[in-house]
Structure 1
Amino acid sequence: MRGLSKASLAEVEERFNAVAGSADLGSLADELFAVVDLFDREHGLRRSLSDPARPADQKAQVARVLLEGKVSPAALETVVTAVSVKWTRSGDLAAALERLGVVAAAAEAEAQSRLDDVEDELFRFGRIVASNLDLSRALTDPASPEAAKRELLSSLLTGKVAPTTLRLVTQLVVHPRGRSLEGGLEEFGKLVAAQRQRLVAVVRSAVELSEVQKQRLAAWLRTSYGRDVHLNVEVDPRVLGGFSVHIEDDLIDTTIAGRIEEVRRRLAG
């Protein structure tokens, strides 16, 4: 988010942090996701509640009448704050609430000491979907009923991943909000990593890295970027040798395939 929306997001996050401490975080995430779905379906309502020309107290009252008694106090206060501030685009209102839903889910996973599991599972699920065309079609087909997608995800993931992972994947599949599934998983993965204020690095290697190699690479990246780094490692024989690291907007490429491609570019130039 940029400009006005960035400042508004910070204000909503501050209120969210103040009220979320005593809440059931998993339920809070579900409630915020449900409000996001409501705003996405009811475009007129979303535009009305994000209209900067309307008085903030008037918009807050509408939100209270709409949601009071239907969601928890923490969810209600978060939404009321969100509709009371000003957004650059009406869509930023729903995007901010979804973001806080992910934060609530990640906080629950952290409280259960499963945050690392969630990061790894989101990454691995993305790779599974990318390599299985039938599964990708079943999960992204707009004509497929929501209930069928939920049932498929439940059969695939229940008992095999952290509850938070299933919650976040379900949100992305059922409510893609214009994103590809792979892009949404990457976005949510970064938000989960941010719960510990660390970066995410996607590492591609021709062979599986040993734990010692992973620790050394993570330590080097931590020193280079000044923050803890979570490694998502993908074995890809196409790299031939060496490894590549994609972190933030940087690409560190030591692969043989990368060197060959660089030589080709130079010769073509």
Structure 2
Amino acid sequence: MAFTEDPYLATSAYSLGRLHSVETMGTVDGPGIRFVAFTQGCPMRCAYCHNPDTWDVNAGEPVSVEYLVEQFESNRSFYKTGGVTVSGGEPLLQPEFLADFFQAMHEQPRGRVHTCLDSCGYAFDPSHPERFDALLRETDLVLLDIKHSDPEGHRRLTGRSFERILAFGDELARRGIKVIIRHVVVPGITDTVEECEELGRLIGPWRNVVGLELLPYHTMGVAKYEQLGLAYRLADVPPMDKERIPELRRAVLRGMKRARG
């Protein structure tokens, strides 16, 4: 969806955010049909990222909370069993804006709206958790992407370590915020039983985990890399065989059970 000029930019009572795009009928970003805002900017460089155009923090469009609320309210009847989701890019780069947006959705005169944060968690700063306090108080659900269960494997796959991600998971568990774990299963990288069992052991202590989604790797983003003149690091990797997903899901659940004793 293309952005139109935001009439509220000059008078907004809230902070402004920088977005890549919005989707008005999202069906895979949380429960029900959802209004999804994709933030601009991401510190990760995942080899399979299908939105490399969201990486640059200086791209995108400045948008106000009021603008997003207006867009949601214009289609509110479609979101009766859904709500709003903020994805990315990496939303945690803009915690103040997200806190304002989620608070506004919770305080809507026509009724409270369910809020969901789709994040890899890397932008969380465990040395300054107070910066994220307002946002997390207004977050009903988190879709937490765990890219790899092995520290070195995570760094090779994303270009970053996973300590901040685990710290974010610990913070969500401490607060009791509901979490759905997401894990992209990539042939030859994250598709072994051992890797998935280790993932289960990592997330097992988090008693707030209410769901688990293993997402089969696909190649639909390759064309975008070609358009942007970027090299695609997994050019020789085939799509994931979806028939293996149940087996690997069982491996994750085994790991969780062992971690919990």
Could you state the TM-score of these two structures normalised by the residue count of structure 1?
Answer: 0.26
- Bigger strand share: 2
Could you state the TM-score of these two structures normalised by the residue count of structure 2?
Answer: 0.27
- Bigger helix share: 1
Give the number of the structure whose alpha-carbon radius of gyration is greater.
Answer: 1
